Chains A and B, each alone.
Chain A
Amino acid sequence: KNQVEQSPQSLIILEGKNCTLQCNYTVSPFSNLRWYKQDTGRGPVSLTIMTFSENTKSNGRYTATLDADTKQSSLHITASQLSDSASYICVVTHTGTASKLTFGTGTRLQVTL
């Protein structure tokens, strides 16, 4: 069964600190993996996309990694800011069926003073 599991479920960190969110998937065949950021009361917004051949991709203070062998991805946030408080959702697309996305249930991140 195609699944995407994220950890931790929730996380509280101090402003300025770094954190890493994890995503493990069993989706096959794999096409790509996206990380989305969802602010409270808003729709998700794409942060990064990674294909099979990519190991690392950065978007500002966000860095995503992908290990296609172990089927794991991480999202690292550097020097966190209060505006990083949001849910982060890992989404995996199946090859050849672009509409077939499998969503993780997200990690809820709270950045505090």
Chain B
Amino acid sequence: DAGVIQSPRHEVTEMGQEVTLRCKLISGHNSLFWYRQTMMRGLELLIYFNNNVPIDDSGMPEDRFSAKMPNASFSTLKIQPSEPRDSAVYFCASRGTAQTGPQHFGDGTRLSIL
């Protein structure tokens, strides 16, 4: 069975541009998490969806960030406008219906804002 699929794997763009990161969940999973990872701060939860509904978005840095789940198997994280300090690796993870179950991570999108 395919794991969590993220695209693109790498993105380099100039500041001010819109960036869209994509994530396909594992089939049957109903929870979706977006994370940002940097050397200084490690993994930080940005937003958590359950059954397509945003449950906790307290980690979203500011209004420039937005996330959606247009359907049960797909999510996007958008940054508009992007800034150099947004440079990081962005991971999405999905989880099955058991709330204590493991999160399954994608391989991330390495984002560089010049």
Contacts and interface: CB of A to CB of B under 8 A. Distances in A.
B102 interface: yes
Contacts of B4: 43
A99 B55 CA distance: 8
Interface of A: 31-32, 34, 41-46, 49, 89, 93, 98-101, 103-106
Interface string B3-29: 010000000000000000000000000
A62 to B, nearest CB: 14
Contacts of B55: 99
Given A43-B4, A43-B91, A99 B45 contact: yes
Contacts of A100: 56
A31 B93 CA distance: 20
Nearest to B6: A43
Nearest to B110: A41
B47 to A, nearest CB: 9
Contact of A98 (B42, B43, B99): B99
Counting contact residues on chain B (CB < 8 A from A), the size range is: 20 to 34
Nearest to B40: A105
27 contacts: A34-B102, A43-B4, A43-B91, A43-B93, A43-B105, A43-B106, A43-B108, A44-B43, A44-B91, A45-B105, A46-B102, A46-B103, A49-B102, A89-B42, A89-B43, A98-B99, A98-B100, A99-B31, A99-B33, A99-B50, A99-B55, A99-B56, A101-B45, A103-B42, A103-B44, A105-B42, A106-B42
